[in-house]
A and B are shown apart, each in its own frame.
Chain A
Amino acid sequence: MEDYYFKAEGVSVGYQGKPVIEEISFGIKRGEILTLIGPNGAGKSTILKSIARQLQLIAGTAYIGKRDLHQIGKDRLAEELAVVFTERIHAEMMTCEDVVAAGRYPYTGKFGCLSQEDYRAVREAMRLVQTDEIRHRDFHKVSDGQRQRVLLARAIAQEPDMILLDEPTSYLDVKYKLEFLSVLQQMAREKCLSVIISLHELDLAERISDKVMCVGEGYVDRFGTPEEVFSPGYIGKLFHMTAGSFEENSGNLELEAPKGKPKVFVIAGGGSGKSVFRKLQRANIPFATGILFENDVDYPTAKALGAHTIAEEAFQKISDNKLNEAKAWIDQCDVVLCCREQFGFWDRENGLLLEYAGAQKKKIEKQQDFFHNKQEA
């Protein structure tokens, strides 16, 4: 049997006896990060609250270590797990240090006075999340990013074996998001902390998680490593996406493709086309593009936004079939947009395409001119 720190077996969670999600089974080891993803209102918070025992399990059993979650004394549980939830914290006239010190609750005496040991733990926690310099600042007067880190420090000061976090990065800008998750990752590694976190940022979830749990509406759809979970086309299904697309391989997120018959053919490759595809999307101009290799950085965007993309397998010579297919698409278009200054040895066929377009008297434009002229018009 594998050595799980936390394990759920056939657990149902919900409110007032009414299950929101049923039959949840999973395990998490020490030092692992488990991320919950899924649409709003699917029940990620419900799962977290149930693990934190703020809600009663409706069915099934959960274990911390070898003990039944609901048999552990509340003092003991407070030493096992700490939380960073979305509940607003009332920290009237409290400095950041005071808030972190609140995490020492399970260890202080009858009147909650802090010992030297407690102060050491508080300072250590604040150092780890880099909030030393705001120690004496009013908790309500620091930035969102700092506040979240202080709340993480509070949880760390509680010296738990597991931390539960409910959408801790939602209101943070990209810098703070990355910083926050880096600190969390470092904590998990250094302190061998188990972490269960719910995230809305799929790209980040894929990167930080050892395990991912996909929570659909009313059920746990998938549980596994990010590689297992993020299979092509899955995210769109999980979130019932109707507009736009998410490309699991690259984490590429695109808006909806322009509809209609393509009027523009784009010759791209090597990253030159991505921004052009998006510009065309914004201008609502359907386009076809090629010939791209499937490992080209332009490829995911082309596939998401293009009406048609002619692509060759990676590391293969461009076949005559593909070349002819591209020519056929150029025939249908009025304009050929060329994003490339020159062509290389492996895609000289794209050069042939450009010559073909010229021979067919198609309007050939550089992307700058094309969008410039469009604006004029």
Chain B
Amino acid sequence: MSRKKRNRYAAAYAALVMLLLTLLMLNVCIGSISISLSDIVQNFTGGQIGETERNILMQIRLPRALAAAILGGALGLSGYLLQTFFHNPIAGPFVLGISSGAKLVVALVMVFFLGHAVKISSAVLILAAFVGAFLSMGFVLLMSRAVNKMSMLIVSGVMIGYICSAITDFVVTFAEDADIVNLHNWSKGSFSGISWENVSVMAVVVGLASLFVFCLAKPIGAFQLGEGYAKTMGVDIGGLKVALVVLSSILAACITAFAGPVSFVGIAVPHLVKQLFATAKPLVMIPACFLGGGTFCLFCDLLARTLFAPTELSISTVTAVFGAPVVIVLLWKRQEKQ
């Protein structure tokens, strides 16, 4: 690696980390009741802080900000894996219908549990989401065998997404419970109402999955060149493909379980990060996509929360505004290349 490249990576990483930390801080500080930096310091050093501020900080804002960072990272990474897997630059958990599949199963499970007045644990949520994600992924995989055109794959993904969303809406509409308001918010995508228990579970699951992905950086790099070539370089293609499918499904499921479907992050982040680092090397891209996704979601959640306060926008509304143009630019660039 030349020194120039190494410097660029270092600078880009530093910038991303700085941005992430700054946004994390802003997310904690800004809101209907503002919390100053000194309040935060006081809170963690055992100093004086008002009860209301402490509650808002510890019970609402901090878990929410952490969740946005972790889940955003998971989204970015899952998008990157899917793009690699399908050799398709506009693949992502949302467009391929994987988020929607997860959403459907989670909604069914939620309605069932709420109807029986049972509290749902994070683990059950993730499991349900994983089942849903895996089912849609299976469908997309079947489609990808039948059609080998990039656009057709996306179209079939979007269609399964719509079908799943429609059924979810149906279930949500006719569910009879006071908690349905909450469910309604979730089904549109939101980082609100995250508990510390949620945060710890998602941190473990996303952390482990991301670590696994990082360990696969080498074969992923070979796979990017093309399957045939990867095979002749000694990559266990079958094993790698299974790993990619399972890991991207887990990551996408985790997001959906806690924040509902979040659009465009999975597509936009890997591309923005690629431009920032000027490389597509997995070893660099994997941590960078995670950081980038976290940063992107923190930024969007901050806007969703504060732009029209006290009304809160759904997170997908904001991510779409910033993510969709990236996709358009991408398609345009591809067209130009051809």
Count CB-based A-B contacts (< 8 Å). 75
Task: List chain B residues, Cβ under 8 A from A323.
Answer: none
B311 within 8 A of A: no
Tell me, in angstroms, the Cα distance from A105 to B226 when the chains sit together.
14
Q: Known: A52-B232, A78-B232, A87-B226. Is A93-B278 also a contact (CB below 8 A)?
A: yes
Query: Are A54 and B228 closer than 8 Å at their CB atoms?
Result: yes
- In the complex, the chain A residue whose C-beta lies closest to that of B275 is A93
Tell me, in angstroms, the Cα distance from A91 to B224 when the chains sit together.
7
* A residues 98-140 in Cβ contact with B at 8 Å: 98-99, 102-103, 105-106, 108, 110-114
Q: In the assembled complex, how far is the CB of residue A190 from the closest CB belonging to chain B, in whole angstroms?
A: 22
A contacts, CB < 8 Å to B: 49, 52-54, 74-75, 77-78, 81-83, 85, 87-94, 98-99, 102-103, 105-106, 108, 110-114, 158
Q: List 13 A-B contacts (CB under 8 A).
A: A75-B234, A78-B233, A78-B234, A81-B232, A82-B232, A87-B229, A90-B87, A92-B224, A98-B281, A102-B221, A102-B222, A105-B218, A111-B217
The answer, among A83, A91, A92, A113, for a CB contact under 8 Å with B232, is: A83
Tell me, in angstroms, the Cα distance from A91 to B221 when the chains sit together.
10
B contacts, CB < 8 Å to A: 1, 87, 215, 217-218, 221-222, 224-229, 231-236, 274, 278-281, 283
Task: List chain A residues, Cβ under 8 A from B231.
Answer: 52-54, 74
Query: Are B280 and A111 closer than 8 Å at their CB atoms?
Result: no
Task: List chain A residues, Cβ under 8 A from B226.
Answer: 87-90
Query: Are A112 and B224 closer than 8 Å at their CB atoms?
Result: no
Task: List chain A residues, Cβ under 8 A from B235.
Answer: 74, 105
The answer, among B215, B227, B234, B280, for a CB contact under 8 Å with A105, is: B234
Tell me, in angstroms, the Cα distance from A110 to B278 when the chains sit together.
23
Task: List chain A residues, Cβ under 8 A from B87.
Answer: 90
The answer, among B218, B229, B236, B279, for a CB contact under 8 Å with A110, is: B218
Tell me, in angstroms, the Cα distance from A75 to B278 when the chains sit together.
31
Task: List chain B residues, Cβ under 8 A from A158.
Answer: 233
Task: List chain B residues, Cβ under 8 A from A90.
Answer: 87, 224-226
Task: List chain A residues, Cβ under 8 A from B279.
Answer: 93
Tell me, in angstroms, the Cα distance from A89 to B1 when the chains sit together.
22
Query: Are A105 and B228 closer than 8 Å at their CB atoms?
Result: no
Tell me, in angstroms, the Cα distance from A103 to B229 when the chains sit together.
9
